[in-house]
Chain A
């Protein structure tokens, strides 16, 4: 409760400082809109539905692509750790592609898929998958061998060992990889939305882009706030439970 209060005070202070800067008229209000005008934009955009529908479009793209990337990346990561051939081939490829800034997939996606949802999906999947593969592989390789040996003496083998011992033992690494994958996917999706108009749906990135085109700074800043909020909520809702789980079980602040 105390922590929430402190956070509230901090953000209220930030808002006040912002308002004070605007009132002092150091910069033109076109470049630095006041929090009130940003708030007004957000209120109107929320009321006429543009904000809601753009958020839905963006989140749908993100969640679909991310879940798909996870569903493919996890098993591929396990295979990479399990089979030397896969590690030497796919593992190396994943390591290389993971270092590639995920925005770099946008031009390729546009050439391959045109201005379609498929292009967006592709960009998000590419942002997710390599981090997840690398993290899963790393995690499994770092599992103390004694766990698998102990499990073997108790009659575990094959798939059972993989699903019941190696996978959970690698969880601290995997959650880290999932988080990184999410961050990469989120960033590349925004880049794609800002630079590419896709007729199948207006996302938050498009609103940001049009804000710039129309010189509507309060729209740009308003959308940035929404993006920031989504990032925060995703972190708290998606990853905090996992991290609490890890903390409780492993006794670490991973």
Chain B
């Protein structure tokens, strides 16, 4: 039964970023966005990248996704070098990037239609499965502008999950949402991550968010973008963003972050969790 195999959990992938550098040159200036960044993400691991604005987090995520190419170094997924976007790594952005000319179901179907080996009925079943997973089974026929910000991100999550990728790359997906909606989504994302066994790389400005979601929190510093420190978050799941233990972690990490973003380096301070 194809639907079964289609929504079956595939082994999540192991990502390996090795000595990646990236420089943007424009006529006005040269920005050293990433400098010799190395990072290993284990199978099924949830890693959060935190750092001040402009330290190259999005750039790194784009390189892992294959949307951008590194100047030096390489990215491996399960040992194979990344050269282009692939269905094994799906990306989610801060803006939902849903297509307004399609309804919710067709948005989720977009990636599935590009995946070989499924007929129309199976694609639809798969799409419905994921819309149910994110709690939007009643909104198949809604259009994007009819959804709230949180619902949009849920659809975007369903769309990213639908081709059954092995890794999810998320670039500040909840940054534009209010605190309450975000809290719901933290719960949902943790549940889905455990159910679907994905490897997740999650970029955020919000240290508390990182502590709530990540197995590991990786700190970046800007100019040039480098990895400075890593924190393992040893808390049971599902985690509550308001728990005291979590607050202890986030205080420690925030202090470290402030240390790396000292004013003389020219970086702005990061937004710290409320």
In the complex, chain A residues whose CB is within 8 Å of the CB of B146: 251
Q: Assess whether B67 is in contact with A154, with CB atoms less than 8 Å apart.
A: no
Interface of B: prevailing SS: loop
Any chain A CB within 8 A of the CB of B173? Answer: no
State A194–B163 Cα separation when bound (angstroms). Answer: 60
* Known A150-B91, A152-B67, A154-B90; contact A250-B100, beta-carbon cutoff 8 A: yes
* Known A146-B97, A169-B101; contact A151-B67, beta-carbon cutoff 8 A: no
In A110-166, which residues have CB < 8 Å from any B CB? 144, 146-147, 149-156, 160, 164-165
Digitize A167-196: 1 where CB-to-B-CB distance is under 8 Å, 0 elsewhere: 011010000000000000000000000000
In the complex, chain B residues whose CB is within 8 Å of the CB of A250: 100-101, 145
Q: How large is the interface on B (under 10, 10 to 19, 20 to 34, 35 or more residues)?
A: 20 to 34
In A208-254, which residues have CB < 8 Å from any B CB? 248-252
Interface of A: prevailing SS: helix
State A103–B118 Cα separation when bound (angstroms). Answer: 54
In B62-93, which residues have CB < 8 Å from any A CB? 65-67, 85-87, 89-91, 93
Any chain A CB within 8 A of the CB of B193? Answer: no
Q: Assess whether B67 is in contact with A149, with CB atoms less than 8 Å apart.
A: yes
In the complex, chain A residues whose CB is within 8 Å of the CB of B102: 249
How many chain A residues touch B (Cβ–Cβ < 8 Å)?
22
Contact of A249 among B89, B90, B101 (CB under 8 A): B101
In B145-166, which residues have CB < 8 Å from any A CB? 145-146, 159, 163
In the complex, chain B residues whose CB is within 8 Å of the CB of A171: 101
Q: Assess whether A156 is in contact with B145, with CB atoms less than 8 Å apart.
A: no
For residue A151, which residue of chain B has the nearest CB?
B110
Digitize B93-119: 1 where CB-to-A-CB distance is under 8 Å, 0 elsewhere: 101010111100000001100110000
Q: Assess whether B114 is in contact with A156, with CB atoms less than 8 Å apart.
A: yes
Contact of A168 among B67, B99, B143, B144 (CB under 8 A): B99
In the complex, chain A residues whose CB is within 8 Å of the CB of B110: 151, 154, 156, 164
In the complex, chain B residues whose CB is within 8 Å of the CB of A248: 143
In the complex, chain A residues whose CB is within 8 Å of the CB of B101: 168-169, 171, 249-250
In the complex, chain B residues whose CB is within 8 Å of the CB of A252: 145
In the complex, chain B residues whose CB is within 8 Å of the CB of A168: 99, 101
In the complex, chain A residues whose CB is within 8 Å of the CB of B143: 248-249, 251
State A147–B96 Cα separation when bound (angstroms). Answer: 10
In the complex, chain A residues whose CB is within 8 Å of the CB of B99: 147, 165, 168-169
In the complex, chain B residues whose CB is within 8 Å of the CB of A169: 99-101
In the complex, chain B residues whose CB is within 8 Å of the CB of A147: 97, 99
State A154–B107 Cα separation when bound (angstroms). Answer: 11
In B115-134, which residues have CB < 8 Å from any A CB? 115
In the complex, chain B residues whose CB is within 8 Å of the CB of A152: 67, 85
Q: Assess whether A155 is in contact with B111, with CB atoms less than 8 Å apart.
A: yes
For residue A145, which residue of chain B has the nearest CB?
B97
Task: Please report A residues at the B interface, Cβ cutoff 8 Å.
Answer: 144, 146-147, 149-156, 160, 164-165, 168-169, 171, 248-252
Q: Please list 19 pairs of residues, one from A and one from B, whose beta carbons are closer than 8 Å in the complex, sorted by A's number.
A: A146-B97, A147-B97, A149-B67, A149-B91, A149-B93, A149-B97, A154-B163, A155-B85, A156-B110, A160-B114, A164-B110, A165-B99, A168-B101, A248-B143, A249-B102, A249-B143, A249-B145, A251-B144, A251-B146
The 9 A-B pairs of least Cβ separation, nearest first, read: A251-B145, A154-B111, A155-B114, A150-B97, A168-B101, A153-B91, A146-B97, A153-B85, A250-B100
